[in-house]
């Protein structure tokens, strides 16, 4: 059915095109904020008179348990359609997969893959992930329900939706289907081609962490490296300033008393810092702030770029004050809180646990409980700070992160270790074995180390874009885009042209 402009501007629909793929709540909120701003700009453009046709919203009835034919329960899964550039029944179908958050109309309107549709005559579809956004089954988010939330269930939905939408839209059997996704959804796009090559002709996987890992200390190693990169506005001095700022935070935390009380006021923490677990929450939030500046560097909606963060940390350095980096970090916190519309920095572990234990779907649609469950049962991805290359305090350590899985879901560390091993075994890790997949990454993005950055053969290509951040190739084009990002998008377009020429000659085109 068509969607009216009043509903379009609802905050529930201004949501993620490419998820943050991290359990840290501040980093997830930074990612959601970036996508919200980008989608808002898309909607403003689309609501201008005479510019474009608004996409249609639809719902598919999907089995709750696709692996048990005797279970008749179902749920409604939301999808979006943009058919304004479709060349007709034989034209290609671009299926944009949602990840760990809501998927809004912008997923089929601007940015990749929608921006590629006009030149290639493609129909663009967006499919929201089960248990996120408005595609949450009846019954809430209890453990009984969450056992139907996994990447394997999501892939079964992709296959089912592919068949149902082919019939519903009267798509020709000769039309090639190409899957797109970013971050976790990028992994889903590659895995969908791996598991259903007869249904999907090719896939573009952007910033896709296809290797599961429990201890993701490599995240902060890339953050450290990016902070020194002149190409994104970093420098060795900036990286040293980050270390100095965190050392000062650690010193004040250890000092206790008045020093700790002043630290709370200066950093805008919502609650006192008396408990060790709350001090860990503070350090995790500050790490997420710096990591987020790297992860979303240069993107519309990002509160801070690497260049801006470094500017704040190095301001006043010439005065010789050893407190200059700490003051810069304080200002960075203020900038981010203002951008996110938060009055203070949440640091209460008890509040975090209470929020994650809520089994009713949350109005914010951020999906923290659902994504934590997926990290606990499939992926890990716990960002830690181990080794000399990490610019932050050594806290929080991995055990405090794994504790969330135990306290929220009753899951043991051994079960998580086994889950990560099983995920890599089932999908193949960084050698997934799929064909006709293009992996796209930015070398400034901390997640690229879990993706595929070198071609695995003639039919599995990899594009590593210099100085690009997380899913930046999928974002709407901007005048500030670097030449390397523009060239990266052109390379994606050329790969699609090659695939679609191949599809015309192939007897199997991802059709029925």
Catalytic residue set: 183, 445, 470
Residue with tokens 């970036």: 34
d(CA 410, CA 373): 11
CB 99 within 8 Å of CB 16: yes
d(CA 9, CA 82): 18
Residue with tokens 């990560």: 420
d(CA 465, CA 473): 9
Instruction: Indicate the DSSP class of residue 116.
Output: G
Tokens of 194: 């791996």
CB atoms within 10 A of CB 41: 16
Instruction: Indicate the DSSP class of residue 35.
Output: H
d(CA 267, CA 262): 9
CA distances from 393 to 218, 239, 242, 254, 287 (A): 15, 13, 10, 12, 9
Q: What residues are paired with 78 via a beta bridge?
A: 59
d(CA 327, CA 198): 57
Among 62, 58, 56, smallest CA distance to 108 is for: 56
């Amino acid at each position: 059915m068509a969607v009216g402009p009043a509903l379009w501007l609802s905050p529930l629909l201004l949501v993620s095109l490419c998820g943050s793929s991290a359990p840290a709540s501040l980093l997830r909120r930074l990612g959601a904020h970036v996508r919200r701003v980008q989608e808002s700009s898309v909607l403003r453009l689309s609501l201008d008179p005479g510019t474009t046709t608004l996409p249609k919203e639809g719902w598919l009835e999907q089995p709750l348990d696709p692996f048990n034919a005797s279970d008749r329960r179902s749920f409604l899964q939301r999808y979006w359609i943009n058919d304004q550039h479709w060349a007709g029944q034989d034209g290609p179908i671009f299926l944009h997969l949602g990840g760990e958050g809501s998927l809004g109309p912008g997923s089929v309107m601007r940015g990749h893959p929608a921006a590629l549709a006009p030149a290639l005559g493609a129909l663009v579809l967006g499919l929201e992930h089960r248990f996120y956004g408005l595609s949450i089954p009846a019954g809430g988010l209890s453990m009984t329900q969450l056992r139907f939330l996994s990447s394997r269930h999501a892939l079964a939905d992709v296959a089912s939706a592919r068949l149902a939408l082919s019939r519903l839209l009267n798509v020709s059997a000769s039309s090639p289907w190409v899957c797109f996704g970013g971050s976790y959804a990028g992994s889903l796009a590659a895995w969908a081609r791996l598991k259903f090559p007869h249904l999907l002709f090719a896939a573009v996987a952007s910033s896709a962490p296809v290797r599961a890992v429990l201890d993701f200390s490599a995240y902060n190693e890339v953050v450290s490296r990016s902070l020194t990169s002149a190409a994104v506005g970093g420098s060795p001095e900036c990286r040293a300033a980050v270390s100095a700022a965190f050392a000062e935070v650690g010193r004040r935390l250890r000092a206790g008393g008045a020093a700790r009380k002043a630290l709370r006021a200066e950093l805008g923490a919502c609650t006192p810092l008396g408990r060790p677990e709350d001090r860990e929450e503070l350090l995790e939030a500050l790490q997420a702030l710096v990591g987020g500046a790297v992860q979303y560097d240069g993107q519309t909606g990002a509160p801070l770029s690497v260049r801006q963060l470094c500017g704040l940390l190095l301001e006043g350095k010439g005065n010789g004050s050893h407190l200059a980096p700490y003051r810069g970090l304080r200002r960075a916190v203020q900038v981010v809180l203002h951008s996110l519309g938060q009055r203070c920095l949440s640091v209460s572990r008890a509040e975090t646990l209470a929020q994650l234990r809520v089994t009713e779907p949350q109005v914010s649609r951020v999906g923290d409980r659902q994504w934590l469950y997926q990290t606990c049962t499939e992926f890990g991805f716990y960002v830690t700070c181990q080794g000399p290359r990490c610019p932050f305090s050594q806290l929080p350590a991995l055990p405090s992160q794994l504790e969330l899985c135990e306290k929220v879901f009753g899951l043991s560390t051994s079960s998580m270790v086994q889950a990560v091993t099983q995920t890599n075994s089932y999908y193949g890790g960084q050698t997934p074995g799929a064909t006709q997949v293009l992996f796209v990454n930015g070398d400034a993005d901390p997640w690229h180390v879990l993706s595929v950055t070198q071609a695995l053969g003639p039919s599995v290509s990899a594009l590593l874009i210099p100085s690009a951040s997380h899913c930046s190739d999928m974002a709407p084009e901007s005048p500030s885009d670097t030449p390397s990002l523009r060239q990266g998008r052109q390379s994606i377009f050329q790969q699609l042209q090659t695939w679609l020429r191949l599809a015309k000659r192939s007897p199997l085109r991802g059709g029925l």
